[in-house]
Structure 1
């Protein structure tokens, strides 16, 4: 259990940060996917409110992340805010960003993998990987592993095992599909029954354009987030690092900007309550800060509390296979430990 059972649907990220202020003060934090009026901005403002040592905002569009930094400076002028430009659909960009961050700080206490995308039309990355899988999982996988030396050093120097955290945002959308190991790029290769998406979905969720079912591909990538967090948790907890993942809830942002009218309406029907970006950051803050989570008491959070994800997202064999596939796609091997 988390330490505050009263936290839930309408909880403010600012309130969570205030509750766990001692877990923020004097620590280094990196947040990806930061733009105005989004979950990333809500998360960044909440962290900034409690005097972190260094707050690094990593995002693709300079003007947008600069707007967030300016907003933070106006509210909390004493916070050391840094900006790093990173395109989470480009492995080259991820390497550059990780190198830049490593030159700014010597330890990293909290990494928030917040960046994500949802689309309905097939797009490719420079590495010829389907865009949603690359942006939502493959590049965060690479980014996290490139920053691992900073995280391990922070954990080694910490007096509190488990206070060093990796938090990766997933979605309730993970329930749509397991990982398609036999067709991760959604190119139409045959897949076994256990890799099929769930049945009886609304037509908008299975709609395919030129053979590309965008929402199913999104669900596949969000399942990857949970399996990634599972692998990290199992391998890093003995080294003093905890890993969690979460559904932020229905949050009023511009993430649906790439969807057509039918797709946007389908998303609108998935939630009865739409959170503000501040409320949408609250579960991230609990996952990153709550001392009750210094030991592995769960994996996936929703509305600031633990919730059981779909069975296909908690399979250790799938987590191992995904790690191996991810290494193959980034052309590197990352050895963390001996579990799983």
Structure 2
């Protein structure tokens, strides 16, 4: 049983398609059930016997995430694989009904809350004989602001004090995903749930940059790799026996990468965890 967020297009859909080929049920999570159903039809066109289920959630909304998880729990007790592949790259600053900046709310809080709410299902999905583990795979980036400036401003997580720009708001959220990956891995040690992050690189024809366009979209579609190729490492982490005991790492092309910037600081990942816990009202 797998669940893939951001599965209605681009890299997320390619990951969901590859997991469908591996067998088992794949839950396709999208912003609406209609989009999830459209993605299911596309996947079934190339994997005719795929077992797929739609699930709707706006990952910028905590209420929507909680509702989607409740719906998942009404259908299933166990989850073997969670791939967090959803994300946004916003040109202008927007605020969610929770009062959070959309980029931070989706790219960081969405991963944090969805994973937390599914942890018990992931634990139940792991076998008791220690030969198998449940997997969490977080799509992130090694380019989290560049090697000299990779940091999270904990005094301005949501870009309220500085002038907003997508290049100011988005890179710290990619680092945030790496920090949360490490913190989840540490907190879940001994539970048979492993958590890893992936730098997929530039991916062609992703919907992530549609709001921005211009040179970014040109660069991605010119130099990026096909989504099917970019899906290789996430699917390997999600399914391979070779990665069953690996946790808390950042990967690209099936090779471990150094953690960018603040990623080597346990205090930073703990601080981000505590802030996310406060904002999500998790006790």
SS of equivalent to 2:4 = strand
Q: State the number of aligned residues.
A: 279
Determine the structure 2 residue equivalent to 1:290: 240
Partners of 2:222 and 2:143 in 1: how far apart?
15
* Separation (CA, whole Å) in 1 of partners of 2:183 and 2:78: 22
Secondary structure of 1:179 counterpart: coil
Q: 2:167 matched to which residue of 1? A: 215
Q: 1:223 & 1:232 partners in 2: Cα distance?
A: 14
Match of 2:14 in 1: 42
**1:181 and 1:290, CA in 2 relative to 1: closer, same or farther beyond 3 A?**
same
Residue 326 to residue 283, structure 1, CA distance change in 2 (3 Å)? same
Residue 173 of structure 1: aligned partner: 143
Alignment-derived partner of residue 65 in structure 1: 36
Specify the alignment match of 2:250 in structure 1: 300
Structure 1 residue 318 corresponds to structure 2 residue 271: no
Larger Rg: 1
Task: Tell me how far 1:108 sits from its aligned partner.
Answer: 0.5
Task: Please tell me the root mean square deviation across aligned C-alpha atoms, in Å.
Answer: 1.9
Show CA shifts across 1:248-301 (max 9, x none): 111012221111425545xx27x9842111112112112212322222366000
CA displacement 1:292-338 (0-9 Å, x = unmatched): 222236600012211112131231111110110001111112xxxxx
Q: Which residue of 2 aligns with 1:159?
A: 129
When normalised by structure 1's length, the TM-score is 0.77
Q: In structure 2, how many angstroms separate the alpha carbons of the residues matched to 1:317 and 1:251? A: 32
Question: For the structure 1 residues 131 and 234, does the alpha-carbon distance in structure 2 shift closer, same or farther, using more than 3 Å as the test?
Answer: same
Asked if 1:104 is matched to 2:75, the reply is: yes
Task: Name stretches of at least 5 consecutive residues in structure 2 with no aligned partner.
Answer: none
SS of match in other structure, 1:120? coil
Q: Which residue of 2 aligns with 1:194?
A: none
**Residue matched to 2:5:** 32
- Deviation of 1:112 after TM superposition, in Å, equals 0.4
Closer, same or farther: CA 308–272 of 1 in aligned 2, 3 Å: farther
Q: Deviations over 1:87-145 (max 9, x none)?
A: 01100000000011111111100000110011121111111111111101102211111
- Looking at structure 1, the residues matched to 255 and 239 of structure 2 have their Cα atoms a distance apart, in angstroms, of 13
Moved more, 164-173 or 271-280: 271-280
Q: Distance in 1 between matches of 2:132 and 2:243?
A: 7
Q: TM-score, normalised by structure 2?
A: 0.92
1:185 aligns with 2:137: no
- Find the aligned partners of 2:122 and 2:44 in 1 and give their Cα distance: 26
**Shift in alpha-carbon separation, 1:231–1:161, aligned structure 2, 3 A:** farther
